[in-house]
Structure 1
């Protein structure tokens, strides 16, 4: 499932870069809206109904109202959600400003920025290995690896701004950091409670994409105000929050 999600993100980066170059950036959002409309039709026609009886199932409003209670109840749900918030925030911080960076330092267009997304295929192939790491080592070990990979990527992006090959290496490292964080955190929350797995995952994914959205917002504004140095300072802040969260709430083992 995670590999499928990352593959979608991977090709979305590439196709959006090409479309923006050929038709302009407005066309990217128009096409995205059309694809979403088609997807709604497919979901309506082919996704099966909930097999549970009405007695077993709960009202949607009841399910939503229970989410804050679960967040309060499970300490490790809070820590995993915050870690994902920070690490995916760094990812989007970078990707939202990559096109600007490539124009300034290399005079490349958005199509090249999109093609850079193909480097993410390394993290997709690494997914089985990361899964084995999660099974073999403690969550703290894997979250530590994720954090240090994020640090390494930011160091490369900060210092080697004139080497396209080191930039590509940094992209691969950053995607691996995100993958380690995603797989490890989902393993943590799936171990908390069988009865609330789906709701726990909803909280986690909400935090995950909220962090990505904030990373995009911060990245664009940091670039406008301070350039690439502002983007990197913002990344350091995300990393610092993730580090504090590590000491406060990452479990030593799964239940």
Structure 2
């Protein structure tokens, strides 16, 4: 998810440049005190909504009479909605004022979360979660707003602060959902999130400057913005290769995180929602991987970083396969997997941004569609594999995705690299 932030930063740079041409200058002093912390909190809250369901899958399956083979559909529809939002909503940041866009999407997100919390049947739940995923991409627009509201000399600090909110939201989403579900039931997770989101929308409406689209923005065709993303990937093989790697890597990632609720909820462990969600804190290793990968990439070691990350990803499934015998083995495997995924993720960002820096937001949006497609594939595949042959089949599927990514990298490592 670190990639989202960088794509949004590019958007922020472009947006701030357009605002300057339109006569809306960025202040020369310190960044506004209110918007940046609020944007940080709202980013984390929005991204967290995509991950709430993962520790609740077994409970949702029991409530709505879903077989184990269909539990992955709950995560899949959210990720498909997220992918659709990347293509259809993110480009709106080049057409509308940020305050109107951010507060409008947050208000609609609150309504979608309310609908999920009150869903009377499985069709209503899946429909609401698809809309939740669609609107959660507002996080990218909020990172862009932080960049646009901050003077250039302090922009990195402000964007880093908001980015930290996104990472924190991802890390805490599963744990928070587990705790709230144990205390007040699964519906309370979405109802509480709806209330928080609505309050944040109101606060940001007061804190953000009104703004107005520049003449340049009004001349931009929405259809051309969306179509240009496809054109970029068609023209540059490196974008296609790294997009395919993202699909496979996040398919492996989602295979683990969408599938683990089932074996952990049953014998011999029979863990609570809180305990299952706590495994999400292993994702803290991903933050360390992002820093390490960033330093290696700056030294020109992007290919080595990718190879090491993909090898660790494949190796992580050996301890994960021992989940039935040891929770420590699962924790170790989860740390290795998250570390590997983030290392590859950051490296992908570095390479694809160098292809066309001026089109960074569109490139990142297209890349994140591949990420969402992989997450959907892993979620659905893991539930079907578990229903068919248990946890052994899930680990085999994750290993297959990981080895496919390693094979793809090894056979295309020299293709389309920027000078």
Range into which the TM-score falls when normalised by the shorter chain: 0.7 to 0.9
Q: Which has the higher contact order (CA 8 A, sep 6+)?
A: 1
Gaps of 5+ in 2: 3-162
Do the aligned partners of 2:311 and 2:406 also contact (CA within 8 Å) in 1?
Answer: no
Counterpart in 1 of 2:260?
98
User: Counterparts of 1:10-49 in structure 2 under 5 Å?
Assistant: 10-38=171-199, 40-41=201-202, 46=208, 49=211
Partners of 2:300 and 2:325 in 1: CA distance: 37
Is the CA contact 2:322–2:330 (under 8 Å) kept in the aligned structure 1? no
RMSD of aligned Cα (Å): 2.6
Relative to structure 2, which stretch is displaced further, 163-172 or 29-38? 29-38
Query: 1:49 offset after TM fit, Å?
Result: 4.8
Mark the structure with the bigger radius of gyration.
2
Decide whether aligned partners of structure 1 residues 49 and 76 sit closer, same or farther in structure 2, where only a CA change above 3 A counts. Answer: farther
Three-state SS of the structure 2 residue aligned to 1:172 is helix
Give the alignment of 1:239-250 within 5 angstroms: 239-250=402-413
Q: How does 1:89-238 map to 2 (within 5 A)?
A: 89-104=251-266, 105-159=268-322, 161-238=324-401
- What per-residue deviation string (whole Å, max 9, x for no partner) do you get for residues 21-61 of structure 1? 22233333344444454555566662775775426862222
Q: Distance in 2 between matches of 1:205 and 1:47?
A: 29
Contact 1:76 1:250 in 2 (8 A): no
Does the Cα contact within 8 Å between 1:139 and 1:254 map onto a contact in 2?
no
- Stretch of structure 1 that moved more, 117-126 or 44-53: 44-53
Secondary structure, counterpart of 1:161 in structure 2: coil
Stretches of structure 1 lacking an aligned partner (at least 5 in a row): none
Structure 2: distance between partners of 1:156 and 1:83: 23
Distance 2:195 2:241 in 1: 36
Distance 1:33 1:60, change over 3 A: farther
The number of residues matched between the two structures is 255
Q: Deviations over 1:143-190 (max 9, x none)?
A: 111111111211111145312222211111111011111100000111
User: Against the structure 1 CA distance between its residues 179 and 224, is the aligned structure 2 distance closer, same or farther, given a 3 Å change threshold?
Assistant: same
- Cα pair distance change 1:47/1:209, threshold 3 Å: farther
SS in 2 for 1:162: coil
What is the distance in 2 between the residues matched to 1:41 and 1:70? 37
TM-score when normalising by structure 1: 0.88
1: distance between equivalents of 2:326 and 2:192? 33
Residue in structure 1 matched with residue 125 of structure 2 by the alignment:
none
